[in-house]
C-alpha cells in the first residue's frame, strides 16, 4: 500500500525532486516523495473507498457545492452581491449570512423519540408504567424489535465489561446478550456497577430545582466579604510551616465548619448511610483553610480541561498514555446550581483518574461560592479550578472567563469566598491578559497567592490572540518569579518532548498540555520516555476503537448513546487529522502552528486519517460504530467550514 501511495504521489508531480522548493512558512516539512495535490489526494481516497459516491462532494448541475452549509453557499454564489443590491430584502438576507455559520444544523436527531421503547420495559421493572395509557413510548416489545435497525456488531462492550447491559433490547449490540425469548441475559460472575463517580442524585437534583437548599457556609463567607476582605492570608503557600492560625479568623472558621448540618443544607440525600470502618476525627472535624492538604503535582503532566473534547473517555485514553493530572470540562456554576443533568455530567470521574479536579466558570461571588460549597459536599475531587482564561464572547460579555482579570474586586471575592468554603485546594487558570500587548498576569499572581490560590496555570497568550500567535514562554518565565513560592504551571504550544523540556527550563513547576493531547494523546508517553514515537495507522485506529468502547460505556449502547459517541469521536478526529506521522517529516519535531500540506501516507488508512473533510471523518467512524443514520450531518464546533 505504501508503494502504491508513493506511485500516485510521483504521478501527481509531488515526487522526490532534488530541486524541490522549501516548504512555505507555517507548513509542516514533509518528505517530497509523500507530497501530492488536493485533487490527487481526494482521488486516491475515493478510489480506495467502498462508497465513493456517498462520501464525495455533492455538486448540482449548476456547479455549486451542495455539501456547503446553506448560509455558506449564499455567500459563495457568483453574482449574489449584485442581486442582493437590487432589493433591500435580499441585501438584508445576505448581510445576515456573513460571518458565523448562521444555518449550522442542530445535530440532535429527532428520530430518537420515534418508536422508542418505554423505560419501564427497558429497565425490566416489575411495576407497571407510571403514565399508563398516557405514555408516549411503545409498550409492545415485538413491534419495537420489528422496527429496530440491525445490530452494529456481534459483541456488546457493556455486557463484556460489566456482565449485564442495562439497555436490554434497545442496545445496538443486543444480539450478544438477548436470549431466545428476548430476555436480557446476565453473567452472574461479572455483574458489577459502572465505577464512574460524581453522578447527580435525583433527590439532590429535585432540591436544586426547587431551590430548597441553603448554603450556610457560603452565605457567612459572603457576609464577611461584604464587610471587607477576609482577614489574613488563607493559603498554605503564604503561611510558614509550623505556624498556627491567627485567633479571630481561625475561631470564626472553626465555628462555621463544626456547625451541625441542618436538614435543608447542602448534603447527600437522606437514606441509609454506608460506612467503611470506624469513625475518625477526619470524618467529623473540618480542616481550616490553612490546614488544607497541599496540592503537590510539581513535575507532573497535567491534561488541560478541554471543552467538548476533554470528555471522560478521552481522559481515560490520556491516562493510559501517561497523563498524571486530569481535570473535567469547564462547568458553568449557574447551570450546576439549577441541577442541569448535562452540566453535572461534566463532573464525572473515572477510577483511573487518581488526581482529578473540576473547573468552574462564573462571574459573580455569590454563585461561585455557593457552587463551591455544593460540590465540596457532594462530589469527590482533589482540587477545584477557576476558569479565568476562557476567551469566547458568550462568557466574556457576561463578566466571566478572561473578563475577571479586569474585574479585580469581583475576582478577589470569588477566590476568597471559594477558598473559604472548600476543603480541597483551589487553583486558577488564566491567560497573560485581555489585550494583546497589555499583560496583566504578573500583577495578579502575588494577589492570587495572598487570596488563597494553591496553584496557578498560565496560558501564554492573551484573549485577543486566541491561537493566532505562539505562546509567550519568556513572559511565563517572568511570571514564575512573581508567583513564588506559589507553584506556577505553564501552558501553550507543547507538541513534543523537546517543547516540554524547553518549557521546564523556564522554571515552571510543571506543564499543562491541551491541543497537543488532542493532536496526539501519546504525547505524554513521548515526554516521559524522551523519544519520538512513529506510531502506525493501525495503532492509531486501535486508540480510536478504545475511545469508542469507553464512549459506549459512558454514554450508553442504545441508539442515542452510539450517536453521541460518534459525535464526540468526530470532534476529536477534526483535531487528529492535523497530526503528521514522524516517518513522513523531513525535520523533527512537528510544530503546533504548522499545518500539514496534502500528502499520501504509507498506507491507505494513514492517508484517510490525514483528510480534513468531514465526510472522511464519518467514514472512519463507520469503521468503528457502523453506518451513520439517514440525513446525518456533522459540523465541528471549532470550525464552521468543515466541508470545504
The three cell numbers locating residue 130: 407510571
Alpha carbon distance 29, 596 (integer Å): 8
CB 405 within 8 A of CB 440: yes
Sequence-ordered list of residues with C-beta below 8 angstroms from that of 284, at least 6 positions apart, any chain: none
User: Which helix (H) or strand (E) segment is 326 a member of?
Assistant: strand 326-332
3-state DSSP: the chain helix, strand, coil percent, rounded to 5? 45, 10, 45
Alpha carbon distance 7, 9 (integer Å): 5
Sequence-ordered list of residues with C-beta below 8 angstroms from that of 15, at least 6 positions apart, any chain: 6, 9, 32, 33
Alpha carbon distance 268, 377 (integer Å): 7
Q: Which of 328, 327, 417 is nearest to 364 (CA)?
A: 417
CB 172 within 8 A of CB 558: yes
The three cell numbers locating residue 119: 423505560
Starting at the edge strand found earlier in the chain, the sheet holding 426-431 runs 301-303, 510-513, 488-491, 455-459, 426-431, 383-388, 356-361, 326-332
Q: What amino acid positions are annotated as catalytic residues?
A: 390
Count Cβ neighbours within 10 Å for each residue of 536-563 and write b for 16 or more, e otherwise.
ebeebbebbeebbbbbbbbbbbbbbbbb
Q: Name residue, grid cell 516523495.
A: 33
The three cell numbers locating residue 479: 511570571
The three cell numbers locating residue 187: 453473567
* DSSP-derived secondary structure letter, 133: G
At 361 the three-state DSSP class reads strand
At 579 the three-state DSSP class reads coil
The CA-CA-CA angle for residues 204, 108, 206, to 5°, reads 10
109 by Cβ neighbours in 10 Å (0-12 / 13-18 / 19+) ranks as middle
Q: How far is CA 155 from CA 107, 186, 189, 559, 561, in A?
A: 27, 14, 18, 15, 16
Q: Name residue, grid cell 462508497.
A: 51
Q: How many residues can be counted in the chain? A: 644
Sequence-ordered list of residues with C-beta below 8 angstroms from that of 38, at least 6 positions apart, any chain: 598
Amino acid at each position: 500500500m505504501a508503494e502504491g501511495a508513493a506511485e500516485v504521489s510521483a504521478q501527481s508531480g509531488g515526487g522526490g525532486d532534488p530541486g524541490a522548493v522549501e516548504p512555505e512558512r507555517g507548513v509542516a516539512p514533509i518528505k517530497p516523495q509523500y507530497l501530492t495535490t488536493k485533487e490527487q489526494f481526494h482521488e486516491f481516497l475515493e478510489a480506495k473507498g467502498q462508497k465513493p459516491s456517498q462520501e464525495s462532494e455533492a455538486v448540482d448541475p449548476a456547479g455549486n457545492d451542495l455539501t456547503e452549509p446553506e448560509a455558506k453557499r449564499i455567500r459563495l454564489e457568483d453574482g449574489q452581491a449584485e442581486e442582493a443590491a437590487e432589493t433591500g430584502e435580499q441585501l438584508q438576507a445576505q448581510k445576515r449570512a456573513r460571518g458565523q455559520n448562521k444555518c449550522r444544523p442542530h445535530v440532535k436527531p429527532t428520530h430518537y423519540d420515534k418508536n422508542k421503547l418505554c423505560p419501564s420495559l427497558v429497565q425490566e421493572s416489575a411495576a407497571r408504567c407510571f403514565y399508563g395509557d398516557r405514555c408516549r413510548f411503545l409498550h409492545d416489545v415485538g413491534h419495537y424489535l420489528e422496527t429496530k435497525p440491525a445490530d452494529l456488531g456481534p459483541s456488546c462492550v457493556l455486557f463484556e465489561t460489566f456482565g449485564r447491559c442495562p439497555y436490554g433490547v434497545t442496545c445496538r449490540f443486543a444480539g450478544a446478550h438477548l436470549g431466545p425469548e428476548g430476555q436480557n441475559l446476565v453473567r452472574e460472575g461479572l455483574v458489577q456497577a459502572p465505577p464512574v463517580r460524581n453522578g447527580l442524585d435525583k433527590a439532590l437534583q429535585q432540591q436544586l430545582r426547587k431551590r430548597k437548599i441553603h448554603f450556610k457556609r457560603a452565605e457567612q463567607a459572603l457576609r464577611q466579604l461584604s464587610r471587607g476582605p477576609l482577614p489574613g492570608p488563607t493559603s498554605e503557600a503564604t503561611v510558614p510551616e509550623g505556624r498556627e492560625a491567627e485567633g479571630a479568623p481561625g475561631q470564626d472558621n472553626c465555628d462555621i465548619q463544626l456547625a451541625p448540618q441542618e436538614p435543608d443544607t447542602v448534603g447527600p440525600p437522606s437514606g441509609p448511610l454506608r460506612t467503611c470502618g470506624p469513625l475518625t476525627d477526619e470524618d467529623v472535624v473540618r480542616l481550616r483553610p490553612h490546614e488544607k492538604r497541599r496540592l503537590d503535582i510539581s513535575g507532573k503532566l497535567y491534561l488541560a480541561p478541554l471543552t467538548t473534547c476533554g470528555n471522560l473517555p478521552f481522559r481515560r485514553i490520556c491516562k493510559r498514555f501517561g497523563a498524571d493530572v486530569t481535570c473535567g470540562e469547564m462547568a458553568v456554576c449557574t447551570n450546576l446550581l439549577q441541577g442541569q443533568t448535562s452540566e453535572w455530567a461534566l463532573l464525572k470521574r473515572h477510577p483511573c483518574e487518581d488526581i482529578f479536579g473540576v473547573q468552574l466558570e462564573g462571574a459573580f461571588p455569590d454563585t461561585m461560592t455557593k457552587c463551591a460549597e455544593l460540590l465540596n459536599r457532594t462530589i469527590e475531587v482533589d482540587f477545584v479550578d477557576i476558569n479565568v482564561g476562557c476567551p469566547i464572547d458568550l462568557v466574556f460579555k457576561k463578566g466571566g472567563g478572561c473578563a475577571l482579570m479586569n474585574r479585580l474586586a469581583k475576582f478577589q471575592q470569588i477566590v476568597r469566598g471559594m477558598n473559604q468554603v472548600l476543603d480541597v485546594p483551589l487553583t486558577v487558570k488564566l491567560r497573560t491578559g485581555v489585550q494583546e500587548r497589555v499583560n496583566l498576569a504578573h500583577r495578579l499572581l502575588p494577589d492570587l497567592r495572598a487570596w488563597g490560590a494553591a496553584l496557578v496555570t498560565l496560558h501564554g497568550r492573551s484573549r485577543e490572540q486566541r491561537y493566532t500567535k505562539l505562546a509567550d514562554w519568556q513572559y511565563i518565565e517572568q511570571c514564575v518569579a512573581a508567583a513564588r513560592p506559589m507553584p506556577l504551571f505553564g501552558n501553550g504550544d507543547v507538541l513534543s518532548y523537546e517543547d516540554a523540556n524547553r518549557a521546564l527550563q523556564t522554571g515552571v513547576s510543571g506543564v499543562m498540555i491541551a491541543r497537543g493531547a488532542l493532536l496526539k494523546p501519546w504525547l505524554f508517553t513521548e515526554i516521559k520516555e524522551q523519544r519520538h514515537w512513529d506510531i502506525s495507522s493501525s495503532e492509531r485506529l486501535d486508540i480510536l476503537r478504545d475511545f469508542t468502547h469507553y464512549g459506549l460505556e459512558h454514554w450508553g449502547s442504545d441508539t442515542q448513546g452510539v450517536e453521541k459517541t460518534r459525535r464526540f469521536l468526530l470532534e476529536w478526529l477534526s483535531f487528529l487529522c492535523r497530526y503528521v506521522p514522524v516517518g513522513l517529516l523531513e525535520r523533527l519535531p512537528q510544530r503546533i502552528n504548522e499545518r500539514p500540506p496534502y500528502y499520501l501516507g504509507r498506507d491507505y488508512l494513514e492517508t484517510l486519517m490525514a483528510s480534513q473533510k468531514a465526510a472522511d471523518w464519518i467514514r472512519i467512524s463507520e469503521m468503528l460504530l457502523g453506518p451513520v443514520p439517514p440525513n446525518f450531518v456533522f459540523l465541528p464546533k471549532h470550525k464552521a467550514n468543515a466541508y470545504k
